[in-house]
Amino acid sequence: MAVYSYNDFRKVLRRLCFEQIRSKKHKIWYRHTETADFKVAISHKRGKDIPRWLFHKMLKQAGMEGEEEFVRILRGRRRR
């Protein structure tokens, strides 16, 4: 299993059209869709690795189905 950084997660959120709405203790990323609102809090730690348990929690908050979808978006492939 690969380990991903906070920068990787920010890159994927940008590609999914999330917007950064607040930056105090954590950067809050938000996206509104017709069916749901998604909000993800990300630490200010730039190049640090995300712990596995937190990574999966953040995937769920962002509305992604799993790590495979995350990797596909990170590598620049379109969402299905």
CATH of the domain at 30: 3.30.920.30
Number of domains in the chain: 1
- List the end-to-end C-alpha distance of the chain, in Å, as a whole number: 23
Along the 80 residues of the chain, how does pLDDT read in single tens digits?
Answer: 689 999 999 999 999 999 998 777 788 999 998 889 999 998 878 779 999 999 999 999 999 999 999 999 999 865 55
- 8 A C-beta contact, residue 7 and residue 24: no
Q: At what angle do helices 52-62 and 67-74 cross, to 10 degrees?
A: 80
Determine, yes or no, domain membership for 16.
Answer: yes
Determine, yes or no, domain membership for 34.
Answer: yes
- Whether pTM > 0.75 for this model: the answer is yes
Output DSSP code: residue 24: S
In terms of residue numbers, what domain contains 32?
Answer: 6-74
